[in-house]
Amino acid sequence: AQSVTQLGSHVSVSEGALVLLRCNYSSSVPPYLFWYVQYPNQGLQLLLKYTTGATLVKGINGFEAEFKKSETSFHLTKPSAHMSDAAEYFCAVSDRYTGRRALTFGSGTRLQVQP
Amino acid sequence: DVKVTQSSRYLVKRTGEKVFLECVQDMDHENMFWYRQDPGLGLRLIYFSYDVKMKEKGDIPEGYSVSREKKERFSLILESASTNQTSMYLCASSFSDRAGYGYTFGSGTRLTVV
């Protein structure tokens, strides 16, 4: 079964600093990879996804993520944090070939942005 | 825009009550999902459905059941609510043949069982 590990349940950065949220998956076959964001009292919103092709994926709100097969990683970055980026971020995977249609989520990383 | 609507944002129920959480989507998605979200545990899959009247157990189905009588509606049922079912419940939907497109989520129902 797939599993997803997000290192760091809480990350705090200063406004304008680099944001780096880590995600590693366990699978010998690269899955589909997703990052979702959840603002307080809301559902999850898709930030970006990797399915095939270019390994550097750009998403909404200036976020991007790079798929590295050799490291089984899909880390999320943003060059300059904004106060509005404070939220919880979830990495998720789905099987590419087995037909299981459900996403498996990591435990989430709460991002704090300090003024 | 695809909409996934969960009927209640907040619910408070008593231990032992039968609880229904309703979810409706308006984009003709084949797949629908119920997750619960708990701090430090992320989202865990309870049940999902890939067609009307079809359902599959997820990772934590114990204490729950589901119903899908119409394509657009997927209900989560807590047969006899217990305090350890206090949680945020999230519904989602997706196309059947587009696993790479991800989900559309509802806003969630925060259930408190007292």
Is A9–B40 a contact, with Cβ atoms under 8 angstroms apart?
yes
pLDDT digits (tens, 9 = 90+) for A12-71: 999 999 999 999 999 777 788 999 999 988 889 999 999 888 899 999 999 999 999 999
What distance lies between CA B42 and its chain's CA centroid?
Answer: 15
What distance lies between CA A37 and its chain's CA centroid?
Answer: 8
Give residue A99's pLDDT. Answer: 59
Q: Are strands B54-57 and B42-51 parallel, antiparallel or unpaired?
A: antiparallel
Give residue A95's pLDDT. Answer: 77
Contact of B23 with B106, CB cutoff 8 Å: yes
What's the average model confidence in pLDDT over A92-104?
A: 77
Give residue A41's pLDDT. Answer: 80
pLDDT digits (tens, 9 = 90+) for A86-95: 999 999 998 7
Q: Which two tokens stand for residue A69?
A: 């097969």
Backbone phi and psi for residue A97, each to the nearest 5 degrees, phi listed first: -125, -20
Give residue A97's pLDDT. Answer: 66
One-character DSSP codes across B65-110: EEEEEETTEEEEEESS--GGG-EEEEEEEE-TT-GGG--EE---EE
- Report the gap between the CA of B53 and the closest CA in chain A (Å): 17
Is B99–A108 a contact, with Cβ atoms under 8 angstroms apart?
no
User: Residue B12: is it exposed, middle or buried by C-beta count within 10 angstroms (0-12/13-18/19+)?
Assistant: exposed
Q: Which of chain B's residues have a Cβ under 8 Å away from the Cβ of A34? A: 102
Contact of A35 with A91, CB cutoff 8 Å: yes
Give residue A40's pLDDT. Answer: 87
- pLDDT above 90 for A111: yes
d(CA B88, CA B84): 12
Q: Which of chain A's residues have a Cβ under 8 Å away from the Cβ of B107? A: 41-43
Give residue A30's pLDDT. Answer: 77
Backbone phi and psi for residue B31, each to the nearest 5 degrees, phi listed first: -95, 140
Residue B17's identity, in one-letter code, is E
For residue B42, give the nearest of A90, A96, A102 by CB distance. Answer: A90
Give residue B106's pLDDT. Answer: 94
Give residue B97's pLDDT. Answer: 65
- Report the gap between the CA of B62 and the closest CA in chain A (Å): 18
- Report the gap between the CA of A83 and the closest CA in chain B (Å): 22
d(CA A72, CA A31): 10
Contact of A36 with A88, CB cutoff 8 Å: no
Contact of A35 with A87, CB cutoff 8 Å: no
For residue A107, give the nearest of B40, B48, B58 by CB distance. Answer: B40
Nearest residue in B to A95, CA atom: B99
pLDDT per 10-residue tile (average), chain B, 114 residues: 87 97 93 94 93 92 96 96 97 78 88 98
- The string over A31-44, giving b where at least 16 C-beta atoms fall within 10 Å of a residue's C-beta and e elsewhere, is bbbbbbbbeeeebb
